Structure 1
């Protein structure tokens, strides 16, 4: 493990798999204590956040799993609360949680659209709103927001 993030606490949403998982692993390799957030299980029923957090710990890092959904304000509070409860602070918030509807825009239903907005827009807002009071009190903090290619290129019809 390197030390560029030693002493820092990072929360990575949607980090049970995909790019979020990779970011969580790299932050841990750089010395950050990491909250791995993902509300979903794997095909074997194991929570993917548990698997990623265990992988970090097995490599010598420090990690805690969290299963709250970014799609609600209480979920955002729970995610940030996990950092405060487990590590006493939050220094870095990385929003990578995402979902995708594999349909042409004309075929997306209102409920599917609402689900997309709940994760991609409200999810970022919920976590930022929960993290900011802690970062302001600490007089430091970093927020990094990711999006997908779908933000720039719509689904084909």
Structure 2
């Protein structure tokens, strides 16, 4: 499965995140790949809104590594940017979140890729210019 779409503003990115999360079930893992400033956190804000969570409450957990948000479904938001190895993710119990009662979204998933479930959804985000974001959604076949 592969889908593509483009957004031209942070508000549009948030709206697409809200649409996207509507089809997800508890226990699903979403991996967001993209450079700094690509729009990963704005997309997560939209996912949060779609789950009944105030988007203003969402921030990138760069220093805390994970934020948990409680809405219509739980949202677990990982930021692995500062992780040196998958072992650090194991130490904070990442695998329990991946198979838990909420939707898990991971920024910088390539840092812990060996731990990520094979059925995870991967979204790459590119920023071809200041306002435009190109999203490619792939579900790897296990």
Question: Is the shorter-chain TM-score for this pair beyond 0.5, marking a shared fold?
Answer: no
Higher relative contact order (CA 8 A, sep 6+): 2
TM-score for both structures, normalised by structure 2? 0.41
* TM-score, length basis structure 1: 0.38
Q: Which has more strand, going by share of residues?
A: 2
Q: Bigger radius of gyration, 1 or 2?
A: 1
